[in-house]
């Protein structure tokens, strides 16, 4: 569990994949042995077609996380 709790506050994550959703370009708010709390900026639209920028703070238990990509480099 120590490697899970070593994600520091403010760390940038390329991707957090849960069982049903993939979040990209996240910032760690808290990490411990139970789960990961991160912030993600998203664009959402309502039924009327209005588009808004939303900042979400999300808590996901480690048991629901498939993988976390810290850095991605293209060569």
Instruction: Indicate if the pLDDT at residue 4 is higher than 80.
Output: no
- For the entire predicted model, the pTM comes to 0.79
What confidence score (pLDDT) does residue 6 get? 64
| Domain ranges (residues) in the chain | 12-69
pLDDT tens digits, residue range 12-68?
999 999 999 999 999 999 999 999 999 999 999 999 999 999 999 999 999 999 999
Write the CB contacts of 71 (distance below 8 Å, at least 6 apart in sequence).
14
Cα–Cα distance for residue pair 68/62, rounded to 1 Å: 10
> Strand ranges (DSSP E) for 19-64?
22-31, 35-45, 51-61
What confidence score (pLDDT) does residue 71 get? 82
Question: String of b and e for 34-44 (b: at least 16 CB within 10 Å)?
Answer: ebbebebeeee
Instruction: Indicate if the pLDDT at residue 3 is higher than 60.
Output: no
């Amino acid at each position: 569990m120590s490697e899970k709790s070593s994600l520091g506050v403010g760390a940038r994550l390329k991707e957090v994949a849960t069982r049903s959703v993939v979040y990209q370009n996240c910032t760690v708010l808290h990490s411990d042995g139970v789960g990961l709390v991160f912030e993600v900026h998203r664009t959402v639209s309502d039924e009327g077609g209005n588009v808004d920028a939303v900042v979400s703070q999300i808590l996901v238990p480690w048991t629901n996380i498939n993988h976390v990509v810290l850095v991605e480099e293209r060569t």
